[in-house]
Structures are given as structure tokens and as C-alpha cells.
Amino acid sequence: MINSVLIVMVIATIATLLYILQLSRFTKAYGYIFDGLSDQEHPLKCVYPLGYGILECIHFDFDGNYAKRIKRDIGIVLGKKYADFYLRVNLSGKAGTALLVIPITLILYGLLQNAVVIVLFILLEFLAFYYFQMQISDVMKKRDMEISRDLPSIISKITLLVNAGMVLREAWAQVAQTGDTTLYKEMQRAVEDMNNGMSEVDAYMDFSQRCQSAKVRKFISTVEQNVSKGNKDLVAYLKEQSQIAWTEKKEYVRQQGETASSKMLIPIGIMFVGILIMVIVPIFANFSF
């Protein structure tokens, strides 16, 4: 037993020293890449250089299918300009944190001599990947919710201005300046594209692609059709879309309320079980069998 513990602790010590040495080596080589990252958003950024160094050593394909999926999602959230950089940040974080788990697990196994540590190792590795994957997923969900929230009011504003006699392009540009959330910023970018010579239809279609929202795509698709026809039925269409958007928003708010109510049942259920235990245990304790 003592020999097996000693062997495991020796292996753990070697793994820890290797980790520290490689971390120091790759921090000197690649640490500057991650210096600008926020400590609050990236609390484990100190291990990113190691992860990046290992990925470089194994010639990881940053243009492979797995990397492309992550890069696409990052491009939607942060823009294509920063997609390559944050792809490397994400993958380096996964690799560096996953490697950190190995010496920690070996040390725990040497101290505890329990097979549960193996399960803990698998769990920690899963959590390392899950944490960095959810960083992207959470931002995308918040972004989509923000777009869905703002779209009805934006369509209403555009409808009012177009109905008052303003052409769509001018109405779009004016509404774009009335907010600073994601959808408004994407509208402002579309205005810049049009001012730089891009056609109105192409600017709207690019806007739709950047938003990556089914509701926005539906709205822009019909706008594009009406613009191509000469705006003859545009006002009627905008009024119809405004009503649909507000109806969908009401339904979404109702669903969110139901979801919040169902989530509240969990802590209520836990409290109820706790109260039952507090009441029942003393009663049974007073019985003499």
C-alpha cells in the first residue's frame, strides 16, 4: 500500500513539475497574446499560453470542422474581425485547463487512494470543456434574446416613419440612431455599408446574416422583396410585420413567465421536503420500538 502511494505521489510530482516547466516555457513564448484579456472574464488566462503551446506542438488544425463551428459562433457574437483571435483563446483555455486537471487528480489520488478520484477527473475534464463552450453559448443566447426584444419596437418605428412619407433607407438610418444595443448597432453598420457604396438590398441582407435570427431573416427577406418591387406595398407589409412581431413578443414574454414559475417550484419543493424532515424526524425519534 505504501509503495503504491509512493509511486502515485512520485508520478504526481513529476506531472506537476512538467506542467510548471511547460507553463513557464510557453508563457514566455506566447503569454503576450493573452495579456490584453480581462481577468474578470478570463480568470484562468494564466494557463492559456500552455494550452496554445500544446496546440501548436501537435499542429492542431484551426481550420478544421470543430474549429470552424466555434469560429462561426464567435464571429456572430464578436464579429469576423476578432473571430480568429478568440477562437485561439477559447481552444487554448480548454487545452490549458484540461492539462491542469491531470496533476491535480494525480495528487488527490495519491492522498486519498480512492477510485472516486478517477470519476472526479472525468467530471473536471468535462467541466473544463463545458465552461469554455458555455462562454460562447451564453453570450449567443443573450444576444438572440436582446434582438428578439428590440425587433418589434424597431419595426414599429420604421413603419411610422415610412407611413409618414419617409423612404425606407432614411427611416432605417434614423431608427438606427435611437438605440445602442446589438440590433441597433447592426443597423448602424448597415447604414455605414450603404454610405460606402453598398446597394440597399445587399446591406439589408448582410445585416440579416450578421444577426443570425430567424425573425430578422423573415423581416429582411420580405423587405428585400418589396424594395425590389418599388416599395408599392411596403407600408402595408410593415404594419403587418409590426403586429406579428408584437404578438410574438407577447407570447415569448408569457413563455418566459411560465418558465420562471416552473423554476421557482424547485426551491419551493426543496424547502417543503426540508420542512417535512424537520417535522417527521422528531416524531419518529420519540417512538420507542
Which residue, chain included where needed, has cell 487554448? 92
pLDDT, residue 116, reads 75
| Residue 262 within any structural domain of the chain | no
257 is a domain residue? no
Tens of each residue's pLDDT in the chain, 289 residues: 557 778 888 888 898 999 999 999 999 999 999 998 888 888 889 999 999 999 999 999 999 999 998 898 888 777 777 889 999 999 999 999 989 888 888 888 877 777 777 777 888 888 888 888 887 877 788 888 888 888 888 988 988 888 888 888 899 999 999 988 889 999 999 999 999 999 888 999 989 888 888 888 888 888 887 776 666 677 778 888 777 777 777 766 666 665 655 556 666 766 766 676 666 656 655 654 4
Do 18 and 63 fall within a single domain? Answer: yes
Closest CA to 154 of 170, 169, 176: 176
What is the C-alpha separation between 273 and 264, in angstroms, rounded?
Answer: 15
Q: For position 191, which CATH number holds?
A: 1.20.81.30
Say if residue 7 is in the same domain as residue 110: yes
Same domain, 108 and 161: no
Decide if 168 is inside a domain: yes
Q: Could you tell me if residue 136 is inside a domain?
A: no
Domain of 27? 2-114
For cell 502515485, what's the residue?
Answer: 8
Same domain, residue pair 7 and 90:
yes
User: Is position 128 within any domain?
Assistant: no
Per-residue pLDDT, 265: 63
Q: In this structure, which long-range contacts are made by residues 256-265, counting pairs with CB atoms below 8 Å and at least 24 apart in sequence?
A: none
Residues with Cβ < 8 Å from 77, sequence gap 6 or more?
Answer: 136, 139, 140, 143
The number of distinct structural domains making up the chain is 2
CA-derived radius of gyration, the chain: 28
Claim to verify: residue 153 and residue 81 sit in the same structural domain:
no
- Enter the pTM of the model: 0.63
In a domain, 191, yes or no: yes
For residues 242 and 159, the answer to whether their CB atoms sit within 8 Å is: yes
Other Cβ atoms less than 10 A from the Cβ of 217: the count is 14
Q: Are residues 172 and 228 in the same domain?
A: yes
**Cα 165 versus chain centre, distance:** 41
Structural domain ending residue among the three candidates 96, 114, 132: 114
- Tell which of 90, 114, 138 closes a domain: 114
Mark whether 152 and 214 lie in a shared domain. Answer: yes
Give the residue from 114, 138, 172 where a domain finishes. 114
**What is the phi/psi pair of residue 106, to 5°?**
-65, -40
User: Is 238 within the bounds of a domain?
Assistant: yes
For residue 273, tell me if it sits in a domain. Answer: no
